[in-house]
Structure 1
């Protein structure tokens, strides 16, 4: 996976974020229920009350003594933020107007994320949200020996967009109390993933302002000296054209601040602490080109139920299986038709076959494969639900030919039918502002408890 995590946002008076708590906008988490299941076939499920919160990277922040921005567009306030620690003391993060500013709405058991939202003071692009257990704690999941099921509507997601639902090994309290972090999970702090993103503005209670470089193609984003690494399990990365699920193990536990080589920066992509590529299962990439898409076996013009099973016990993960349900019919994941890669689920053996045939570097194996991924999942992960465009490589790694300088007939290069000149953020933001993704009916429980598995 090649995602760039700086999703563009212009919140009130400019895009900003911080670590103290402001009082200008009350933070009220939109409610979203979900279910825990027992028994077999989804017949015994209990509704749990939950809510969602917006990631701190999107929120308005200002000096604690007034309204002056601490971060505007893609630049830090050099007076207020002379260093990371003092910046976190001087700046207050505020609550969010979820629907009016960010295009986020929740109701009953569903969450809708709109791509472009034009508010009174701003234009917001994309969002990243987390499922909450309480007002100040993220909901934690241990996926080993369990299955995670949800419904999704990607019918309004064109090439270049990614409606992503995934898990990362964040702290339940969002790093509350680390450094000068007084905001915590309530305000969406503590994010990390296997890309070790450098666009995270606050890490461990300090501003990531040291060495900050404004982006040359994203007026709202930039990169700092530090990255935020942690293991990541991508359940669902998708638009209406392509989808993939991908484990990303790391050699570190939980949110880890990194620099340089340990982040896997530049030419050191395969020398960092996290597996940035992961071991992905994309049916189109596995040469099954009629399985997922508009009017295909899984028709992306209609809602799809996605079931992911984590086979194992304790911290031992041996297999990640995938099923789909649509119009009352259960579909097993497609089998690979690539010569030398057999199967329809992710195992260590399958991943090694895929990496060998595709000629890819196997940092997945180097960093511990499913064993290390399982150890991370057993420690507990936070559920992330997002919508984003890609200022790095236009989402071509998900839905097109990538790398673009290779022949699409080369095994592993073709990932979807989107053109190699598609997905440019300026184009997508202009032409598809009303693009939306809807996540709903989340169910979680032991294997076979959330749906009727085929015999």
Structure 2
């Protein structure tokens, strides 16, 4: 479901191509948001960010929005009062996976602050992921993103234990990183939020699947993501069309 014009969006049964916009996945009847339950699941999709310059953010993420909101409304995320999990925020210079848990009380609409910065892993410094890389993941070509949401007891009802993400392209496989309760627990409270217990609660309630592409090309607005337009990865390409493509989605038990 779009939040804005559809003039820069193209879809098929297996893919989404979009310019700057924000879209929500709804049920087949187009009557409500489609809930996703990710614990003990592996999410796989193909991503093409070859035309997403530094300064922009091609994001695919989940938030614990109110599933009963009217379509196109009810948006909330980790900057406000909803658990958010960013499966990827990406451009040619960097990619990041981040958990944004809210304190448990926040999920009852209190005024507590969610984890706005979040607990995540960024690969802008990776030597195996970048534009025109021949010995790793070349982000000027499509690659497969695999994200595994493991629980403490290996069941759908268990507490979230870890989230692991890898990129695959041909024979090349790169581990983006692993997020765990222990890796987040040492962070300041503003980043930790409610930790994995809170994120588990959001995942139990079902999350809305959101796609967005936003920002300003080569502006420095996404330095936290890509390191800035003067970095080698960002300056490797120019004249990009500001279009992202996601395709071949699967969600399956681990």
Instruction: Establish whether TM, by shorter chain, passes 0.5.
Output: yes
Aligned residue runs from structure 1 range 138-177, under 5 A? 138-173=33-68, 175=69
SS of corresponding position for 2:67: coil
CA RMSD of aligned residues (A): 2.5
CA contact (8 A) 1:398 1:416 kept: no
CA distance in 2, matches of 1:138, 1:330: 36
Q: Which residue pairs with 2:244 in the alignment?
A: 437
Q: What runs of 5+ residues in structure 1 fail to find an aligned partner?
A: 1-52, 59-95, 115-125, 176-183, 197-228, 263-271, 335-343, 356-360, 402-414, 420-427, 448-455
- Larger Cα-atom Rg: 1
Please report how far the alpha carbon of residue 381 of structure 1 lies from its aligned counterpart in structure 2 after TM superposition.
0.2
Q: Secondary structure at the match of 1:371?
A: helix
SS at 1:346 equivalent? strand
Cα distance in 2 between the residues matched to 1:299 and 1:418: 13
1:44-443 equivalence runs, <5 A: 53-55=1-3, 58=4, 98-99=6-7, 103-114=8-19, 126-133=20-27, 134-173=29-68, 175=69, 184-185=70-71, 188-196=72-80, 229-251=81-103, 252-253=106-107, 256=109, 262=111, 272-284=112-124, 288-296=125-133, 297-312=136-151, 313=155, 314-327=157-170, 329=171, 331-334=173-176, 344-352=177-185, 355=187, 361-365=188-192, 367-389=193-215, 394-400=221-227, 417-418=233-234, 432=240, 434-443=241-250
Aligned mates of 2:52, 2:174 — CA distance in 1: 24
| 1:296-354 C-alpha deviation (Å, 9 max, x unpaired) | 31110110110110001315001001122212x362515xxxxxxxxx4111222346x
Unaligned segments of structure 2, at least 5 residues? none
- Whether contact under 8 Å (2:2, 2:21) holds in the other structure is yes
Aligned equivalents of 1:127 and 1:158: distance in 2? 15
Q: Distance in 1 between matches of 2:79 and 2:180?
A: 22
Change (3 A) 1:416 1:243: farther
**Partner deviation per Cα, 1:373-411 (whole Å, 9 max, x = no partner):** 11111110000011000699611111116xxxxxxxxxx
CA contact (8 A) 1:148 1:445 kept: yes
Q: TM-score, normalised by structure 1?
A: 0.49
Q: Deviating runs (4+, > 3 A) in structure 1?
A: 390-393, 415-419
Shift in Å at residue 418 of structure 1?
A: 4.2
Distance apart, 1:372 and its partner CA: 1.1
Q: Determine which structure has the larger strand proportion and give its number.
A: 2
Shift of 1:416: 8.2
Contact 2:128 2:174 (C-alpha < 8 Å) held by counterparts? no
Post-superposition Cα deviations, 1:266-304, rounded to whole Å, max 9, x if no partner, equal xxxxxx4200010110123xxx53122112311101101
Does the CA contact (< 8 Å) of 1:244 and 1:281 recur in 2?
Answer: yes
| Secondary structure at 1:370 match in 2 | helix
| 3-state SS, counterpart of residue 386 of structure 1 | strand
Residues 369, 378 of structure 1: alpha-carbon distance in 2 compared, 3 angstrom cutoff? same
- Kept after mapping to 2: 8 A contact 1:154/1:300: yes
